[in-house]
């Protein structure tokens, strides 16, 4: 759970107030379930402003997740390419006494 004082939040605060904690959690926990809780809602008289701030946070979190997924896809594509190259250089994994999976018998 990450809490944010929504009455004091400004979109320019995202990296310092939320992204820092998001990065801390996601770097230590695999596939965490993160709940962002807006606090001090009662200190804001304008509910439209609160809704706008919450939408801003939600959109930025979605962008972070999308960016992470794209990074993972690029890494997977790179690994697949390296594995394919290794197989081609080994002649499909069948030369040199290697059977399935490239292990020596």
How much is the pLDDT for 88? 86
pTM (2 d.p.): 0.66
Which residues form the domain of 78? 2-88
Give the per-residue pLDDT at 100: 55
- Residue 100 domain flag: no
The whole-number pLDDT of residue 92 equals 58
Residue 99 is assigned to a structural domain of this protein:
no
Query: What is the model's pLDDT at position 101?
Result: 56
What pLDDT, on the 0 to 100 scale, is given for residue 4? 92
Alpha-carbon gap, residue 74 to 80, rounded angstroms:
10
Q: What percent of the chain has pLDDT over 90?
A: 50
Q: How confident is the model at residue 59 (pLDDT cuts 50, 70, 90)?
A: very high
Q: In total, how many domains does the chain have?
A: 1
Residue of 1, 2, 4 lying closest to 43 (CA atoms): 4
């Amino acid at each position: 759970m990450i809490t944010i004082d929504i009455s004091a939040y400004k979109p320019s605060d995202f990296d310092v107030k939320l992204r820092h904690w998001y990065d801390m959690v996601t770097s230590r926990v695999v596939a965490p379930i993160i709940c962002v809780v807006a606090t001090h809602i009662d200190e804001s008289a304008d509910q439209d402003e609160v809704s706008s701030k919450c939408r801003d946070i939600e959109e930025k979190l979605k962008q972070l997740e999308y960016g992470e997924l794209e990074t993972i896809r690029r890494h997977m594509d790179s690994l697949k390419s390296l594995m394919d190259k290794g197989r081609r250089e080994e002649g499909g994994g069948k030369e040199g006494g290697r059977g399935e999976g490239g292990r020596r018998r």
